[in-house]
Structure formats: structure tokens, C-alpha cells
Structure 1
Amino acid sequence: MNFRFHNLLGAPYRGGNTVIANNTLLISPVGNRVSVTDLVKSESKTLPTQSSSNISRIAVSPDGTFLLTVDEKSRCHFINLRRQVVLHRITFKKPVHVVKFSPDGSFVAVGAGKLVQIWRSPAFRKEYFPFELVRTFACFDDKIVSLDWSPDSNYLIVGSKDLTARLLCLKKMSGGVKYEPFKFLRHRDSVIGAFFGVDKKTNRVCKAYTVTRDSYIFSWTFRSDDDSEPPSPTTPERDVEGNIEVNGDVNVKKRKNDGKEDADMLEEDEYLCRGKWEFLRKDCFMQAPARLTACDYHRELDMVVVGFSNGVFGLYQMPDFVCIHLLSISREKITSAVFNELGNWLTFGCAKLGQLLVWEWRSESYILKQQGHYFDVNCLAYSPDSQLLATGADDNKVKVWNVSSGFSFVTFSEHTNAVTALHFMASNHCLLSASLDGTVRAWDLIRYRNFKTFVTPSARQFVSLSADQSGEVICAGTVDSFEIFVWSMRTRRLLDVLSGHEGPVHGLMFSPTNAVLASSSWDKTVRLWDVFNGKGAVETFPHTHDVLTVVYRPDGRQLACSTMDGQIHFWDPIDGVLMFTIEGRRDIAGGRLMTDRRSWANSTSRNYFSTLCYSADGGYILAGGSSRYICMYDVADQVLIRRFQITLNLSLDGVLDKLNSKNMTECGPLDLIDDENSDVEDGIDVQTRGKIDDLPGSLPNRGRPIARTKCLKIAPTGRTFTAATTEGVLVYSVDESFIFDPTDLDIDVTPEAIDGALMENQCTRALILSLRLNEDSIIKKCIYAVSPGDIPAVVSSIPRTYLQRLIDALADLLENCPHLEFILRWSQELCKAHGNHIQQNCRKLLPSLKSLQKAITRLHQDLADTCSSNEYKLRYLCSSGALE
């Protein structure tokens, strides 16, 4: 039961800006969480930290140590990216539209409303007030949209919706002179991007670019006072204080008094304030009527990338404005466009499609191409080896994910309606899916194609799916005709139609040990069917409320079903008797919707479980539904063990138990009223759209998604379970880092005793002591201490009580250690010495054996791919004569 949050799948990008840290880590917001993708290792993970609402802006420090996130409520988290913990928190008083670290990492610039605030960047120091406000600039007439730092961290160029960009100086001028920010004018729309250009020889700012929403880019050049002609020897000059100087001894004397080094330093820091900015040229991207929505600039390459509301992006070489690439990636708005540090990769994000792309523009190839489900995920299915996870959603698509990497590697889009059920065949290479479009499709996971389609004589809508252990028979339940259809997998012929239910058949599952099919329906019954003998319903289990789902225990000796009154009923499918019942209404209760007229304590409309799942050993059962909680029960004791809260995101409905009555108006909840006052959104007049779509005097209703769990699945290894929730597919894994669970602990079982046994070359005794102590690192150390020739003798002397822990340790070593042959030898000798005991205790050892099988299968696939590639290269080299 020691599960913790591990990853989030199904929604790689949902809006906000993206950044790249250390040239390889792609960081993007995912709802109220942050996803980190390693583009070199092809791994994706989600930080365990959560904000109280959806994250809108993120920034990473130059060294990649700290991460700054700001949500829609202007709440900021300062995160240690390597340790994945929140160090500091602060709330800004205005909505934040842009945030960025300075190049030296000492400051953070925040565009909060119409203000530009410069904060001193917190670090590892323990301070009562970690955020220190250094300066505030209040010279803008509208909200801040973009900003950029100069290389020396002394200047900022800031773009705003007031059609201007301004040059801000962080330090105060010498001599008490008041600095007036320089204004970059000539714009006719909001300044989406403002960037500094540098001289590659001196690394000083010499130009600037401003990009506007109406698809124009303005080029500006800087001319310092040193570039002008020197004054005449007889012409007096005025210093900063207004005193007249003449050339000669007096000037030399004054310079000596001021100090030459201080003067040079001040001149170096204030060089942008001493010169003039001149307008150079104006260029158009020629994408009207589309709006420019995202842009970025790479200083070393002097290149600009822009994205538009029509899904087109362009790459341009500056300052000559030469178009290198102009391509379309979708028909929806591009919300993020970013260079990496080297400038060879471009990252694009499309919030509406949940799409995230990393493109190498030189070779014109994709580094990363991920897209989540557009609508809610309805169903999940694990492959038998636990390496793959299939998801089906309301967007008519089926996606298959690699659980280890967190990436989706194939998408099937042949369904024309919502996908409602999934099932992996025992062969691990075939996936079944049922949909409301009236078809059941079989997918080949080797060739990635739909090779079989199962249909009915008349159109039906399928909501449940199952297949027997042999894979010869496929069954699907309907929501409209209340029937169960049976097909032959080999011939695709409809074998039988099981009738008897009087409501939608939402639960369907074959027994793991025999050919008995269990079905649950809204007609308040659970029925058992003998499919192969054609006897129809052989047993009926009546209930007092609608039955929502039904599952078998892994050994097939128990059946669990949930009803609308919030109870979980456990039946003996052999004797046909009710074993016991778990009352779960109070356990799942929690969270009030904005439209609820009753409090969560008095409401029973959503207090029931709609999805159930047994653990791999059958000792626990997970239950979820239209609630923010997932409940875990001990089946033997019928008690609640733990509750998992799926989200803390207040942007979802049903997260809070108590609502503030001040947010209720005569037009409804305040959060459901669209009060945005922007005149134009993506080229469409909001006022005109409101007159067409809405009634006179009414306000558009945005609505909010409800926090709930639609499906739960536990991996065959028993070490991971997934939940299809509103925010995506949450993956929970076993956390063994803080667990101390010894067996037969005695005063002599200590780490010192284990080290002493290893020093005396008593490897068997040391390994047994480590298994009793159950410390993962010590067990692995003892395994490494055994010589290859002594493995058979050591394995045969291991007591059967400790076999499960030894198998778990070997499976973990196969995932991480390089000594493959050594660990495989351990696994082989373990099966030889204790094969009979493993067969007799299959139910107890099955999760650990599945973990070991998963690790071996993954290694086999990786080595097979590597060997095939090497073999092909050797054949090519031999045929071309390169080795002669």
C-alpha cells in the first residue's frame, strides 16, 4: 500500500510557456504540475509538487538548479529542480504574464500586470523573507507581455500591450541623474516579443528586435557616444553635473580626482544609457489574417522563430530577414515557440490539441512528437508484461504508452466515436478496443494496424469488453440493447448474443481460471454466463441498487461489484453466496460542485464507486468514482487502508469541501462567468461573437471540469497502478525508500553482523541476514559478494520465506545494473532450485515474478535491437569493402 505519485500521462502540454534547461531537459506545465522531458534519454517524468491552480508561467535558472512556477492565481513556487522540492512560496498581487531569470541568476524579472518587478533570486539560504524586491518600474499603460535581459544583467527590454517596448536600466545612474526609459515606438499592435542582439566580439548589446501581434518585426540599432566624432580641442564640454571643462591639465586633474577605474566601470555599466537607438527596418511575416502568438530569439545564431494562430511557424535569419523554414504543424494556435541553448532544436506547443513538438531544423526531423488526449480518458489496459499501457478517450483515439519512458509511441484513430473499453490479449502483441461507434477493433502492436473489426447485424453502442484466457472468444456489452455479443477471434464470426439484462451492461470480465463470464448491469443484477457450453446465465446475484462495475480476484475465487448506494459487494462465484459488504459512501464523499444545492456532507448524488480493481495478490482493492479520492481497502478485514487525493487543483470543480458564498451572484457562480474584457481574441471580435451566440444580456458560461476517476488498473507486477482522471492518467508506484519491514528481526540481525559475515566470506549467512533485515541496499551488496561459481549453492540454501524479497531485488538489479549475465544466472538458478515451491505459491509470488519477467523482456528487446543494428552495419561494411 506504499504507493506514491510517479508520473502523469495523457496530457503532455496544456498551455503556458515552455523552457529548455541544460540544453536537454524540456520543461512544460501540465495543469497544476510540471513535466520534465529528457530529450537525450527519451524519458518523461512529472514533478510531485502541485500548485493550487493551473500553471501559466515557468522560468528556469541559467544553471538549471531552480525552477520558478506561477499559476493562474499569481501564486509562485520556487522549486529545487534536482531535489524536486518546493523551497519558497510567494503570491504576487497582480496577474503574471511573463517571468524570467537574469543571465547571472541573481535576479528574477516579473511582469505583474502593468508593473515590472525585479526580485532578488532566492537560493539555499534560510531566510525569513527569501524574496527581496529590488526595483519596480511603473511606466507602462497596459499589461506586460514580454521581456528580455541583456547579457550583463543590467538592462531589460520590455514589451507591452500599450503598443510600446521600453529599455529599463536596473542600476541607478551615476551623478544622481534620473534615467528615463527609452521608448521603442512605431508599433500598431501588442509587442509579443522584445529581444536584445549582441556583438559577438564584445558581447555587448548592439541591436534589438521587437515582434508585434500583427505579424511585423522591427529592427533597431544602437549607436554609442563613442562612435560619434570627437569634440574640437577648443570646444568646451559639460560634464554630468553641468560644470564646464576645458582640455588640458584641469581635465587630467579632475580625472585623477574621480578615479580612472571607477569612471571606466560606470561607463561600462551605463553604455546603453549614453547612446542612441535608431530605427533600422520593418519586415512583415505575411500571414494575415492570422495573429502572431509566440516567438523566440537566439542571440548567437541571430535567428527568430515565430508561431501563428493558424498553426504555421517560421524560422528567419536576421538581420536580413531571410526565411529558412515556413511550415504548418496544425490548424490550431501555436502557444509556445522556444530555441534550445545550442539553437539546433525548436520546441512548439499547441495548448488546444495538447501537442508538444521538438524539431531539429537543420536535418528537418522530429526529436519529440507527443500529443495527449483531447478529451477525458475513459479506459485503461496494461499489457501482460506491464511494459505498455493503452488508453482510450472521448476523442475517438487509442494511444499506447511506454510506462518506463512515459511516451506514447503509437496512436490509433480509426474509431469514429468515443472509446469506452480496452483489453490486452495474452500474447502481448494484440490490443482490443470497444467504442460507441458500434465496432470492436483488434490492433496489431507489431505492424501498428487494425487487422480485424467485429460488428453486429444492427448498430449498437459498446461500453464494456472482455476476452477469455485463450484469446479465442471476445465479448462486448451494449448500452442501448442491453445485450452481450460473442465473437470468434479467429473467424470474426458472431457466435452468440446473450440476452437477459434489462439495463446497460457496463461491467464485463472473464474469470481468470475458467470460461465463466461475469456481467454487471444497471438492472441491479450481476450474472454469470457459461459462454462455451451455451447454457446462458448460470447464476444471478441480485442487488438493491444499480450495479456499476464488476471485477474478479486474480485467483478467480472472489467477485467484487459496486452499486449506486456506495457499497462494494463481495461474492463467492463458486457457491453463489454473498461473503461480505464494504460501506464506502463516507470514504469517497468529499468535494462540492459549484452547482450543488447541498453541502458535500448531505449530498449522496456522487457518493459511489464507478471503477474497481484488485491488487496483484488479491489482498487489496482500489475503488474510485466521481470524487477527488481513490480509496484502498483491505479485503480480508474490510477496512479502509488509505485514501489517495488525485489533485489539489482548484481550477477543477469538486476539490473544495466548502464554497465561499461571496462568489455566488444572481447570474450564478462567479467562476462560471466570463469577465474577460479583451476586444480581440485570435482575430475574432468577442463582442460580435457574444451577440451571435448568446441571448441578449446573457454572459458566456465557461464551465469547469469536475475532478473524478473514470478507470483504475493495477499492473500485473503489482508495483504500479494507474488512474484515468480529469487531468490525465496518474501513475502511482511503490516507494521503498522509506520503508523498514524486517522479518524475524533479532538482536543479532544488524548491518554490522552482515558486514562481519562478508569479511569472513560467509556469503550465504550474510545474504540470509540481509533478507531478514530487508534493507534494499544491503541485499544488493550481498548478492554482488557471491562469486558466480557459488550461486547454485547459495540459492539452494535460501529459505522459502525470503524468496519473494530475493526475486524483487533481482528484478530491480536487472533494471539498473550493468552485470546482466550475473543477475540472469541468479534468476536461472533460483528457478531450478525452487521451481516447485514457486508453482505451489503462484498467487503470492506472481507480482514479483511479473516484475522479473518485465525486466528480462525489456532487456531482451533492447539487446535484440542493438544486435540487429550492429549486424546490419557489419553486413553493409563487408559488402562495401570498407573492412578490407
Structure 2
Amino acid sequence: MNYRFHNLLGAPYRGGNTLITKNTQLISPVGNRVSITDLIKSETITLPVQSSSNICRLAASPDGTFLLTVDENNRCLFINVPRRVVLHRITFKNQVHALKFSPDGKFIAVGTGKLLQIWRSPAFRREVFAFELVRTFAEFDDKVVAIDWSLDSEYLLVGSKDLTARLFYVKKLKGALNKPFLFLGHRDTVVGCFFGVDKQSNRVNNVYTVARDCYIFSWGYSGSDPKLDELRAEDSEPPSPGTPERDMEENIESSGDGNVRKRKNFDGILEKKEYLHRGKWERLRKDGFMQGSAKVTSCDYHRGLDLLVVGFSNGVFGLYQMPDFVCLHLLSMSREKITTAVFNELGNWLTFGCAKLGQLLVWEWRSESYILKQQGHYFDVNCLAYSPDSQLLATGADDNKVKVWTVSSGFCFVTFSEHTNAVTALHFMANNQCLLSASLDGTVRAWDLLRYRNFRTFTTPSSRQFVSLAADQSGEVICAGTLDSFEVFVWSMKTGRLLDILSGHEGPVHGLMFSPTNSVLASSSWDKTVRLWDVFEGKGAVETFSHTHDVLTLTYRPDGKQLACSTLDGQIHFWDPINGLLMYTIEGRRDIAGGRLMTDRRSAANSTSGKCFTTLCYSADGSYILAGGSSRYICMYDVADQVLLRRFQITHNLSLDGVLDFLNSKKMTDAGPLDLIDDDNSDTEEGVEKQTRGDLGYDLPGSMPNRGRPIIRTKCLRIAPTGRSFAAATTEGVLVYSIDESFIFDPTDLDMDVTPEAIDAALNEDQPNRALILSLRLNEDALIKKCIFAVAPVDIPAVVSSIPLKYLQRLVEALADLLESCPHLEFILCWCQELCKAHGSSIQQNSRNLLPSLKSLQKAITRIHQDLAAMCSSNEYMLRYLCSMNIKN
């Protein structure tokens, strides 16, 4: 039951800005979570940290250790990325549109509303008030939308919606020197402003400002201007009090000239300093991107290569060489606007994101090749299916697409788009090379996962809408239940011919599953019945189980001796399919209840909608069952005792509907909830346009459709065949929960003497047995593997026989992980063989606890066996030829 959040699939990007840190990690917001993609290893993980609403802005420290996230509620999290924990929290008073660390990592510039604030970076210090406000600039007439730091962290270039860009000196100066320099002449919002640096002197020599109306301004610095300085000094105002500005004031000596001031250095010697914001800037040129009616939605500049990348609202992006404004590339990514465009540190990779399509691309512009190309489902995911070896996960959604993901890496490697309507059901065949999908377009398609093609399509004489799918254990018979005609169609897998039509239901057939042990097909319908069919005999319904409410779904226990089904009244009924008896019932209305929709007229406690389970799934050993529905909870029940073991809350995202139990009465107006009122004057170019998620076009009996924000719900639950993880298709995406999370520290059976130093000392004293037991007690994955490799092959039987029974599961998990990545195959297989010899009886007696880890080990061995078998088979004749030759030295 120790499942923890592991990853988020189905939505690599949903809006906001993206980052690429020094260690080639791509950081992107996904709803109220943060996803980190390793572009070298091609792996993606999602941090377990959650914000209160959708994240709109990100900023990373120069070394990539710290991450700042700001959500739509202006709540900021300061995250330690390597440890995946939140260090500090702060809430800004206004909406944040720009956020950036200084190059030295000491300060953070935040554009909150019309203010520009400079905060001291908290770093690793433990403080009650970690964020220290250093300075505030209130010079703007509209929102701050763009920020750029100079390399020496002394100057800030800030763009605003008031059609201006301003150059600030970060430290506090005396008198008129605090006044910024204004870059004027723009006719639209300044969406990007950047410092240009001289390659030889490494000093700022020009500035680029990009306006939303597809124009770029180039500004050049021509030195100090004493006359202009004197005029500004006359009109200057004293700095306004009220903001603490400690440690920011410079030691200035009074001087007669305007722009050049003398200050004392560390040796007490007077030196001159030239301030860029008091100098003379002139516009060198104005260039247009020539994109017609399109607008600039994102841009970034690389100082080292003098390259500018610009994304437009029509899906086109351009790469320009500055300062001559030479177009290197002008390509179209999609028809939707590009919401983020950013360089990596070396400048050879470009990252683009399209929030509406959920698309994230990393493009190498020199070779014109993709480093990363991922796209999530446009609408909600309806169905899931694990492959028999638990390595692949298939998803089907309302966007008519079927995607197959690699669970370990979190990447989608193939997308099937032949369906013309929503995909409602998926099923993996036992050979792990074929995937079945059912759709509302009236077809059931079979997909070849080796050649990535649709090799067979099952249809009906007249058009039908399929909502459920099942295949028998042999893979010879395919069955699909309909939404409109209330029938179950049966086809032959080999010929694709329609064999039979099972009639008898009087409502949509939403549940369909073959028994794991025989050829009996179970079907559930909204006509309040569950029917058992003998498909091969063709005798019609063998047995009918009647209920008092509509039956929403059903599932078989893995041993085939129990059948569970959920009804509209929130109950889960457990039947004995052999004797046809009701074994027991679980009342789950109160367990899944919670959450009030914006359109509800009743409180969450009195509302009857959504208090039922629409998806069920047994565990691998059948001891517990998972249940989910139109709620933010996933319930786990013990089948034998009929008790609730645990509730998983799938999200805390307040941007979704149904997360809060009590609505805020302050947000209720005469026209309805404030969140559901359309604001025609809102700025849609800076964030993600709100879009209504797609659905299947029908609702559960008694449910009310919501046309406002997306409703939090769980549409499908599936447990991996190994039992080590389960996946939930939710409004937030596909959430994967796992117990194989080695990153989490689990202090089990610890003592003061159990330390990494003690393990190293045991290894130095040639005591591998003691070192391995200490590492198992410490439960540190790296140390366990180190001790395994420290054992000589001849000593493996003695070491394995001395391992206590309670540490077997950790040792098996470590061996299974090593088989996936370690090149020493014979050495690890020797460990596995000796483990089975020494603890065979103990493993058999405790098979229930060790079954998940043993299945993981079996999966790894099977995969390696298949790889080696294919290699040996291809070289069989070459090996025969070499063996038959009489080779002499």
C-alpha cells in the first residue's frame, strides 16, 4: 500500500515558460506540477511538489539547484531540485508576469503587477522570513512583462505593457542617479528586452527590445552625456521611503560632473564609475518580422552567439542573427501560437512549447534535427492499458488518438490517429505486440507495436458506438460493447469476421471483461444488470445478476473466483461468478464524496452527483481493489475485510473544479460565480487561453454537465501486472503511482552504528557479508549495489544464505534494477540463482509480500532473454560455420 506519486504522463506541457539548466535538464510546468526532462538520457520525471493552482512562471538559479515557481494565485515555491523538496513559500500581492535570477544567483527580480521587486535569494539558510525584499521600483504605468539582467548583476532591463523599456541600476544611489533610462518609440507591449555584450571587453554595448506588433528595436550606447544628466538632475525627485533597501547603497563621493561619479574602492582609493542608465542611448535601427497580422508571443536572446529566436501567434518561429538582423530560419511548428521559446546555455538547442496543443519540442538548429518531440492529448484521457510486462502504457483520449508510453522514461514513442472519434477502451494482447482500441466511430482496431501500423479493423453491419472492449486469454475472440444499440459484438481475431451478436441488455454496455480462468464473458450495463455469457458455446446469457441501480463498470479478480461491480448508488458489489451468489457489499458514497462544483446549488455534503465509482481495478494478488470516479479521491479497499485502507487525493489544483469542499462566498456575484464569468478585456496573449475539456458527449444518469472550468475526475484505473505501480487517467493527466521509488529515504531498522562509514569500514576489512546487511538496513540503493559488487563470485552462496528474510525484498529489488542497467549479466544471474536455492522455501511461504518484487525480477530476466535470443537466432548460421571450421592458431 506504500504507493507514492511517481510520474505524470499524457501532458508534457500546458503553458508558462520553460527552462534549460546547465546539466541539460528541461524544466516545464504541467498544470500545478513541474516536469524535468533529461535531454541526454531521454527520461522525464515529475516533481512530487504541487502548487495551489496552475503554474504560470518558472525561474532557475544559475547552477540549476534552486527553482522558483509562481502559480495563478501568485503563490511562489522555492524548490531544491536535486532533493525535490520545498524550502520556502511566499505569496505576492499582484500577478507575476516576469521572474528571473541574477547571474550571480544572489538576487531575484520579480515583476509583480506594476512593480519591479528585487529579493535576496534564500539559498540554504534556515530562516523564518527567508525572502528578504531588497528594493522596489514603482516606475511603471502598466504590468511588467519582461526582465533581463546584465552579466555583472548590476543592471536590469525591464519591459512593460506601457510600451516602454527601462534600464535600472540595481544598487541604490544618491539623488537623481536612481532615475532609470527610458527606451521609447514602441507601439505595442514590450514582450522581450535583452542586453547585448561586446565580445572583447565583455561590457554592455547595445540593447534589443522586441514589441508585440512584430518589431525589434536596436539601441546603442554612446557614452556619458553631462548635459542630459544635468537636466535630469534638475527634475529629479528624492527616492520614496517605505521599502527596506539595506546593503544596496554605494559609497559615493560628491562630484561636479553628471554621469561619472567617484567612489571609494576596497583600498580607499577614489575611482570613477560610469553608469549605463545615466548615459546616452540612441536607436540604431528598427526591423520588422513581416508576419502580417500575427503577434509576437515569445522570444529569447543568446548573448554568446548574438542570436534571437522569436515565436509568433500563427505558429511560426524565426531565428535571427543580430545585430544585422539576418534571418537564419523561418519555420512553422503548428497553427497555434508558440507560448515559449528559449535557448539552452550553449545556444545550439531551441525549446518551443505550444500550450493549446500540449506540444514540447527541442530543436537543434544547426543540423535541423529534433532532440525532443513530445505532444500530449488535446483532451482528457478516457482509457488506459498496461502491457503484460508492465513496460508500456497505452492511453486513449477524446482527441481520437492512441498513444503508447514507455513507463520507465515517461516518453511517448508512437501515436495512432486513424480513429475518427473518441477512443473509449484499450486492451493489450498477451503477446505484448498487439494493442486493441475501441472508439465511438464504430470500429475496433488492432495495432502492431513492431511495425506501428493498423493491421486489422473490426466493424459492424451498421454504425455503432463502442464504449467497452475485451479479449479472451487465447486472443482468438474480440468483444466490444455498444452505447447506442445495447449489444455486444463478437469477432474472430484471425479472420476479422463478425461471429456473433449478444443481445439482452437494455442499456449501454459500459463494462466488459473475460474471466481470467475460463471463456465466460461478463458484461455490465446501465439496465441494472450484470450478465455472464458463454461466448464459445453461443447459448446466450448464462447468468444474470440484478441490482437496484445502474451498473457502471465491472472487473474480475485475477484468480477468476470473484467479480466486482459498482453501481450508481456508490456501492461496490462482490459476486461469486461460479455459484452466482452475492458475497458482500462495500458502501463507498462517503469515501468518494467531497468537492463542490461551481455550478452546484447544493453543498458538497448534500449533493448526490458524483458519489459513485466509474472505474475499478483489482491488485495483482487480488487482496485489495482500487476505485475512482467523478471525485478528487481514489479509494483503496481491503477486499476480505471490506474496509477503506487509503485514499489518494489526485490533485490540490484549485484551477480545477471540484477540489474545494466549500466555495468562497466572496467570489459569488449576481451573475454567478466570479470564476465562470467571461472577461472580454482579459489578456490572452500572456497566458494559456481557458478551454473546455472534451468529453464523450454523454453523462452519467443524474449528473449535471459543467461548462466552466475542467472538473476533476478519474476516468480509468489500471494496476501494472507486476503490482509495483498503478496508473490513473485523470483531468490532470495520467498519474503514475509506484512503490519502486528509491529516491525516498525509508528509515527502517536503523541504529546509531548503521552509517555509510561503517559500510565502507566493513568492506575495507573484507567483510562483505556484514557490509551488505548494513546497507540493506540503511536502505540506500547505491550502497546496496556497491556491496553486491564487492562480493566475490565464490562467496555468493555463503553471503546469500546469511541474509535475513526481512531483507529479501530489498535485495531482489536491487538485483532487478541491476539487470536493467548492469553489463555484468552472469554475475547478477548467479546472485538470483543462489537466492532461489538458499531461500526457496521462504520465498514460497511469503509469496504474497515478495510477489511484486519477484515479478519485477522476472520481467527483467525475460526481457534480457528475448534480446539475447534474437541476437543468437540472427547469428545462428554464423556460429555453426565457425564451430564447424578447424581453426588453427
**Shorter-chain TM-score: which interval?**
0.7 to 0.9
Match in the other structure for 2:675: 671
Structure 2 counterparts to residues 313-324 of structure 1, below 5 A: 313-324=317-328
User: Is residue 724 from structure 1 mapped to residue 723 from structure 2 by the alignment?
Assistant: no
User: Is residue 464 from structure 1 mapped to residue 468 from structure 2 by the alignment?
Assistant: yes
User: Is residue 813 from structure 1 mapped to residue 812 from structure 2 by the alignment?
Assistant: no
1:209-236 per-residue CA deviation (whole Å, 9 max, x = no partner) reads 01111111111111124999xxxxxxxx
Match in the other structure for 1:209: 208
Structure 2 counterparts to residues 357-368 of structure 1, below 5 A: 357-368=361-372
Q: Tell me if structure 1 keeps the 8 A contact 2:67–2:81.
A: yes
Distance 2:214 2:874 in 1: 47
1:242-287 per-residue CA deviation (whole Å, 9 max, x = no partner) reads 7599xxxxxxxx99x97896676550xx431453111101111110
1:465-519 per-residue CA deviation (whole Å, 9 max, x = no partner) reads 1111111111110011111111111100111111111111101111111111111
1:707-733 per-residue CA deviation (whole Å, 9 max, x = no partner) reads 110000111111111100001000111
1:725-757 per-residue CA deviation (whole Å, 9 max, x = no partner) reads 001000111157555778xx9xxx999999999
Q: Tell me if structure 2 keeps the 8 A contact 1:555–1:843.
A: no
Match in the other structure for 1:409: 413
Structure 2 counterparts to residues 504-519 of structure 1, below 5 A: 504-519=508-523
Q: Tell me if structure 2 keeps the 8 A contact 1:613–1:622.
A: yes
Residue identity in the other structure for 2:200? K
Match in the other structure for 2:284: 280
Residue identity in the other structure for 2:818? L
Residue identity in the other structure for 2:580? G
Q: Tell me if structure 1 keeps the 8 A contact 2:177–2:278.
A: no
SS, match of residue 711 in structure 2: coil
Q: 1:266 to 1:371 in 2, by over 3 A?
A: farther
For structure 1, list consecutive stretches of 5 or more residues without a partner in the other structure.
Answer: 229-238, 246-253, 687-700, 872-884
Distance 1:680 1:783 in 2: 57
Which range moves more in the overlay, 179-188 or 36-45?
179-188
Match in the other structure for 1:329: 333
SS, match of residue 451 in structure 1: strand
SS, match of residue 587 in structure 1: helix
2:488 corresponds, among 484, 489, 494, to 484
1:395-450 per-residue CA deviation (whole Å, 9 max, x = no partner) reads 00000001011010110000000000000011111100000000000111111111
Q: Tell me if structure 2 keeps the 8 A contact 1:18–1:26.
A: yes
Match in the other structure for 1:694: none
Shift, 1:825, TM fit: 2.4
SS, match of residue 177 in structure 2: coil
Distance 2:310 2:755 in 1: 63
Q: Tell me if structure 2 keeps the 8 A contact 1:209–1:217.
A: yes
Q: 1:753 to 1:128 in 2, by over 3 A?
A: closer
1:658-683 per-residue CA deviation (whole Å, 9 max, x = no partner) reads 1122221121111101235248869x
Alpha-carbon RMSD across the aligned residues, in angstroms, is: 3.7
Structure 2 counterparts to residues 166-205 of structure 1, below 5 A: 166-173=166-173, 176-205=175-204
1:548-605 per-residue CA deviation (whole Å, 9 max, x = no partner) reads 1111111111111111111111111111111111111111111111111111111222
Q: Tell me if structure 2 keeps the 8 A contact 1:65–1:81.
A: yes
Shift, 1:63, TM fit: 1.0
Distance 1:807 1:590 in 2: 40
Residue identity in the other structure for 1:494? L
Q: Percent identity?
A: 79
Q: 1:205 to 1:47 in 2, by over 3 A?
A: same
Q: 1:798 to 1:177 in 2, by over 3 A?
A: closer
Distance 2:182 2:25 in 1: 36
Residue identity in the other structure for 1:340? N
1:596-639 per-residue CA deviation (whole Å, 9 max, x = no partner) reads 11111112221111001111111111110000000011111111
Distance 2:783 2:118 in 1: 50
Distance 1:453 1:666 in 2: 53
Q: Tell me if structure 2 keeps the 8 A contact 1:617–1:844.
A: no
2:585 corresponds, among 571, 581, 586, to 581
Distance 2:121 2:844 in 1: 60
Distance 1:769 1:224 in 2: 67
Match in the other structure for 2:84: 84
For structure 2, list consecutive stretches of 5 or more residues without a partner in the other structure.
Answer: 228-251, 691-705, 877-889
SS, match of residue 58 in structure 1: strand
Distance 1:587 1:504 in 2: 26
Distance 1:95 1:4 in 2: 32
Residue identity in the other structure for 1:138? A
Distance 2:756 2:355 in 1: 53
Distance 2:506 2:114 in 1: 62
Match in the other structure for 1:385: 389
Distance 2:145 2:640 in 1: 59
Q: Tell me if structure 2 keeps the 8 A contact 1:23–1:342.
A: no
Match in the other structure for 1:714: 719
Shift, 1:854, TM fit: 2.7
User: Is residue 66 from structure 1 mapped to residue 66 from structure 2 by the alignment?
Assistant: yes
Distance 2:211 2:760 in 1: 68
Structure 2 counterparts to residues 645-794 of structure 1, below 5 A: 645-675=649-679, 677-678=681-682, 703-734=708-739, 735=741, 737=744, 783-784=788-789, 786-789=791-794, 791=796
Residue identity in the other structure for 2:586? I
Match in the other structure for 2:143: 143
Q: 1:365 to 1:91 in 2, by over 3 A?
A: same
Shift, 1:346, TM fit: 0.2
Q: Tell me if structure 2 keeps the 8 A contact 1:380–1:422.
A: yes
Which range moves more in the overlay, 373-382 or 509-518?
509-518
Structure 2 counterparts to residues 94-493 of structure 1, below 5 A: 94-173=94-173, 176-225=175-224, 267=273, 270-493=274-497
Residue identity in the other structure for 2:112? A
Residue identity in the other structure for 2:465? Q
SS, match of residue 221 in structure 1: strand
Which range moves more in the overlay, 511-520 or 794-803?
794-803
Residue identity in the other structure for 1:706? I
Distance 2:866 2:139 in 1: 61
Normalised TM-score (structure 1): 0.87
2:572 corresponds, among 568, 571, 575, to 568
Q: Tell me if structure 2 keeps the 8 A contact 1:32–1:54.
A: yes
Q: Tell me if structure 2 keeps the 8 A contact 1:740–1:775.
A: no
Distance 2:773 2:159 in 1: 67
1:279-323 per-residue CA deviation (whole Å, 9 max, x = no partner) reads 101111110111111100000100100010110000000111111
Match in the other structure for 1:10: 10
Shift, 1:648, TM fit: 0.3
1:103-131 per-residue CA deviation (whole Å, 9 max, x = no partner) reads 11111111111111111111111222111
Distance 1:703 1:836 in 2: 59
Normalised TM-score (structure 2): 0.86
Distance 1:331 1:119 in 2: 39
Which range moves more in the overlay, 556-565 or 373-382?
556-565
User: What is the aligned length?
Assistant: 830
Distance 2:521 2:257 in 1: 102
1:673-705 per-residue CA deviation (whole Å, 9 max, x = no partner) reads 1235248869xx99xxxxxxxxxxxxxx97200
Residue identity in the other structure for 2:103? P
Distance 2:101 2:358 in 1: 27
SS, match of residue 859 in structure 2: helix
Q: 1:496 to 1:794 in 2, by over 3 A?
A: farther
Distance 2:513 2:566 in 1: 14
Q: Tell me if structure 2 keeps the 8 A contact 1:649–1:655.
A: yes
